Amino acid sequence: MIEGMPSILSVAVRRLPHGADLRLPGYATEASAGMDLLAAIEREVVLAPGARAAIPTGLEIALPEGCEGQIRPRSGLALEHGLTVLNAPGTIDADYRGEIKVILANLGGGDFTVRRGMRIAQLVVALVGRVDWREVDTLPASGRGGGGFGSTGLDERTA
């Protein structure tokens, strides 16, 4: 546990009628960071290769100020089927009160069928800081400097 951070964060959640029979997001293991989000769809959704769809979860939440919800892909779906969250991580702001929907994209080679109650993504709740910009003429030096894409190389570095 991080000092000053509560071990359990209380978050208000509302189930919508089309998700009333589905379980709430939960952790798969004691040390899991993400909670599984389930598809609250009435009919199967078939995603052809290259297709995308906003899949409802049947949930609305009220995150505490200073937190955000991050919607992330499930690694097994990504590896085995090429299914991902298109805007990963999707952000749920603390003041958003609409239904959580997951933008799924099929990057795989075959059709993928989303079924009711399927675990389609993960939700991670994280603390976020606010920024107060302080404009300056020069930035402090760093070891990396302006090195960007690929500047640290691919191979293990030796000291």
- How many angstroms separate the first and last alpha carbons of the chain? 33
Domain definitions of the chain by residue range: 15-127
Determine the 3-state secondary structure of 19 from DSSP: helix
Task: Give the model confidence (pLDDT) of 123-149 as tens digits.
Answer: 999 999 999 999 999 999 988 888 778
Domain 15-127: CATH architecture, name and number where available = Distorted Sandwich (2.70)
Query: 3 pLDDT exceeds 80?
Result: no
- Is 120 within 8 Å of 39 (Cβ atoms)? yes
- Is 106 within 8 Å of 47 (Cβ atoms)? yes
- The per-residue DSSP string of 88-108 comes to SSEEE-TT--SEEEEEEEE-S
Instruction: Extract the tokens encoding 116.
Output: 């009711």
What local confidence, expressed as pLDDT, does residue 1 receive?
A: 46
Amino acid at 131: V
Query: 75 pLDDT exceeds 80?
Result: yes
Write down the pTM of the prediction.
Answer: 0.85
Tokens 């993504």 belong to 121
Amino acid at 98: G
Instruction: Extract the tokens encoding 81.
Output: 């089927």
